[in-house]
Amino acid sequence: MELHQLRYFVAVAETGGFSKAAKRCYVAQPSLSQQIIKLEHELGQELFERLSRKIVLTEAGKALLPRAKLILKEAGNIKSGILEDVDSGSGTLSVGLIPTIAPYLLPGSLDKYHKRFPMSRIKINENLTERLIKSIVNLEIDVAIMSLPIDDPLVQTKTLFDDPLVLALSPDHPLAKSKSIKIDALKSIPFIALEEEHCLGEQIKSFCYEKQINPDIICRTWNLSTIQQCVSFGNGISLVPKMLVMTDSSKSCEYREIKGQSPSRAVVAAWHKDRRLSKLALEFISIVNEEYNSLVESN
């Protein structure tokens, strides 16, 4: 009997179907079904009645469910329990950050963290939202710094701060003469967009749709630094997070708020809902929040 088999079993029991459970666990349905069958063979009991339109627990399945949940919860707490010894500065912390946050908050946060916990080892996973959610669900990382929305019932979040999005344009752009820009001014200007697989790219797309703007997208990129370069050369304009602006020492771009319409993203800490955060994880979350506030105060 393996932990992933119990995780799949609980997912089927809670979602009521193999396809929904496979989606929740980020595995192919045939693989999940095969592991459930292996678990049933090992226990010598059928765990589900596979009816024509729904899946229901057998008596054996009902007996296993609370035990499986307890085992999974305890397994998730083992690592957190080991990390409790913060006073000695020991332990390993595994954190994730999305690419539109990591370059701006991670360097200062790591510096503060290592000064406070020099004996601790920290592992970093910079990745897209969907992949970080998968790592959280599979208990591969302790906590992630991301932005909403996060649509997974196994992920718990805590809002840290709102990060405004501002307009980036070249110093020579006509709009750079204005202190703030009206939303209608963006309708006919070439736009440089972040790929929608980034949650920030999807958020910007939703904002434009909500404001009935259909931007003339001339470039799509995976990287905010590429957006900065393209904007600085006058190739177009873009929306970028304020944390980028606050850490930009190049002065190659001008940044302006959208008058009365500036969007923002909610930056959160995210972790598995059944997992108790270690003291090191809680300290890291606090340090990230502190780092952002320091940037705000210094600008």
The upper half-sphere exposure of residue 143, i.e. CA atoms within 13 Å in the direction of its Cβ, equals 22
Phi-psi region at 112: left, alpha or beta (left = phi > 0; alpha = psi -120 to 50): alpha
Give whole-number Cα distances, 248 to 124, 174, 225, in Å.
23, 21, 10
| Domain topology for 163-263 | D-Maltodextrin-Binding Protein; domain 2 (3.40.190)
Same CATH topology for 3-82 and 92-160+266-298: the answer is no
Q: Please name every residue paired with 241 in a beta bridge, in sequence order, or none if there are none.
A: 165
Q: Please name every residue paired with 96 in a beta bridge, in sequence order, or none if there are none.
A: 125, 144
- Which one is the CATH code of 3-82: 3.10.20.440, 3.40.80.10, 1.10.10.10, 1.10.274.10? 1.10.10.10
Q: Are 147 and 105 in contact (CB under 8 A)?
A: no
Report which of 275, 294, 26, 7 is spatially closest to residue 144, judged by C-alpha positions.
275
Strands 155-169 and 264-272: antiparallel
3-class SS of residue 190: strand
Q: How far apart are CA 210 and CA 34, in angstroms?
A: 44
Q: Which residues of 91-105 are buried (b: 16+ CB within 10 A; e: fewer)?
A: bebbbbbbbbbbbbb
- How confident is the model at residue 86, as a pLDDT? 46
pLDDT by position in tens, the chain (length 299) = 899 999 999 999 999 999 999 999 999 999 999 999 999 999 999 999 988 778 899 999 999 999 999 998 888 777 666 555 545 566 789 999 999 899 999 999 999 999 988 888 899 999 998 999 999 998 899 999 999 888 899 999 999 999 988 888 888 888 777 777 777 777 777 888 777 766 676 777 777 767 667 776 777 888 888 888 888 888 888 888 899 989 888 888 888 888 766 788 899 999 999 888 888 899 999 999 999 999 998 87
Q: Are 141 and 83 in contact (CB under 8 A)?
A: no
The domain spans of the chain are 3-82, 92-160+266-298, 163-263
- How confident is the model at residue 28, as a pLDDT? 94
Q: How far apart are CA 141 and CA 155, in angstroms?
A: 12
For the residues of 212-226, what is the DSSP string, one character each?
T---EEEEEES-HHH
For the residues of 138-165, what is the DSSP string, one character each?
TT--SEEEEES----TTEEEEEEEEEEE
Report which of 148, 124, 123, 151 is spatially closest to residue 137, judged by C-alpha positions.
151
CATH 3.40.190.10 fits 92-160+266-298, yes or no: yes
